[in-house]
Amino acid sequence: MSDSIDLLQEARDGNRRSLSKLLTLVEEGNPSPVERGTGLSLGITGPPGVGKSSLIGKMIDVWVDRGESVAVLAVDPSSPRSGGALLGDRMRMTNADSSDLVFIITLETRKHPGGLMDCLTPMVDILSECSWENIVIETVGAGQSEIRVVAFADRILLVDGPDRGDIIQAEKAGIMELADLIVINKSDLPEAERAAKAVKSGLSVGEDETTPDVLLVSAHSGEGIEEMVDALANTTTSPDRERLRVRERLISAWDSTLLTSNELENTLQELEKGSITLQEAVDCIRKEG
């Protein structure tokens, strides 16, 4: 822990190498030197291929032009062979590393349920402690990770595109109920307006009286990006959405407890041999906790 405290002090003084080392230690499961942090973050989610990384690149440009710092925790899918991250997100954030106001770290999903890890919360707190003003979490954009991001982020930006058939699927998955702002990227494409209207129509039949705004943006041309950044700064979360977020945080904590259980490997072996039932396995791990 003493090494972590030293790294934190150096990171506070602006040492980016020390910040990277500290975040890596936390990612590997070491305790964070920041206790009960109050770091706030923006989660950016949506299906693969809608341009999340390119959009973040444009958002970074806006923040940097305004003199604001931004740190990005980019969660990339892990290779099933090597276990490493593919670094695809960083390659699509053009000019992202060209400013002292920008810090990007790529994280591995490490086969975690939902593609997001419990270490994200202390990492956000460390970045906040080191005075990074805008902290962004980008998900892998597939399956449960689209919803699980609410366990780690205080605001949620849902990105979709007009050339996809996933608008209604996003509604069915429940992510639209959790988003603070929804944007349709690639606004220059013919179907963009239709897609935005479809989302607004879907939101209008929900029970939540405070529905998120739906904006058209283009990561290619930069159209609507500044307006989107301003809208994010003024978002408000309804009690219904906050209750759903608390639920996801609880589920995430349980997943983490399961994956870090000392009995997990033994329990899996017993299940594989058929010597215990699934319910007995759950009871065993629950007793340990």
What is the model's pLDDT at position 17? 95
Task: Report the distance separating Cα 39 and Cα 133, nearest Å.
Answer: 9
Multiple choice CATH, 38-237, 3.40.50.300, 3.90.1150.10, 1.10.150.20, 3.90.105.10:
3.40.50.300
Q: What are phi and psi of 78, to 5 degrees?
A: -85, 145
pLDDT per residue as tens digits for the range 18-38: 999 999 999 888 899 998 767
Question: 171: pLDDT confidence band, cut at 50, 70 and 90?
Answer: low
What is the model's pLDDT at position 118? 72
Q: Which of 95, 43, 42, 40 is nearest to 64 (CA)?
A: 95
More confident residue, 93 or 158: 158
- The mean predicted confidence, pLDDT, of the chain is 81
What is the model's pLDDT at position 80? 40
Question: 103: pLDDT confidence band, cut at 50, 70 and 90?
Answer: very high
Sequence-distant contacts of 90-99: CB under 8 A, at least 24 apart: 90/53, 92/53, 92/54, 92/57, 93/53, 93/54, 93/56, 93/57, 93/60, 94/54, 94/57, 95/57, 95/60, 95/61, 96/56, 96/57, 96/60, 96/72, 99/64
Mean pLDDT check: name the lowest of 113-117, 150-154, 158-162, 281-285.
113-117
Question: 289: pLDDT confidence band, cut at 50, 70 and 90?
Answer: low
More confident residue, 189 or 248: 189
Residue 166 above 80 pLDDT? no
Strand partners, 44: 138, 157
Question: 68: pLDDT confidence band, cut at 50, 70 and 90?
Answer: very high
- Yes or no: say if 92 and 104 are a contact pair by the CB < 8 Å rule: no
- Yes or no: say if 247 and 255 are a contact pair by the CB < 8 Å rule: no
**Above pLDDT 90, what percent of the chain?**
38
Residue 63 above 70 pLDDT? yes
Residue 161 above 90 pLDDT? no
More confident residue, 47 or 231: 231
pLDDT per residue as tens digits for the range 70-84: 999 988 755 444 444
Residue 108 above 60 pLDDT? yes
Question: 174: pLDDT confidence band, cut at 50, 70 and 90?
Answer: low
More confident residue, 87 or 139: 139
Strand partners, 215: 183
Question: 91: pLDDT confidence band, cut at 50, 70 and 90?
Answer: very low
Residue 126 above 50 pLDDT? yes
What is the model's pLDDT at position 173? 53
More confident residue, 225 or 259: 225
Q: How many CA atoms lie within 13 A of 252 on its CB side?
A: 23
- Edge to edge, the sheet with strand 42-45 lists 102-108, 70-76, 134-138, 42-45, 155-160, 181-184, 213-216
Place of tokens 């003084």: 13
Q: Which of 135, 141, 133 is nearest to 153 (CA)?
A: 135
By the 10 Å C-beta count (0-12 exposed, 13-18 middle, 19+ buried), 102 is classed as buried
Sign of the torsion formed by the C-alpha atoms of 172, 177, 178 and 184: positive
Task: Report the distance separating Cα 287 and Cα 275, nearest Å.
Answer: 18
Question: 188: pLDDT confidence band, cut at 50, 70 and 90?
Answer: confident
CATH 3.40.50.300 positions along the chain are 38-237
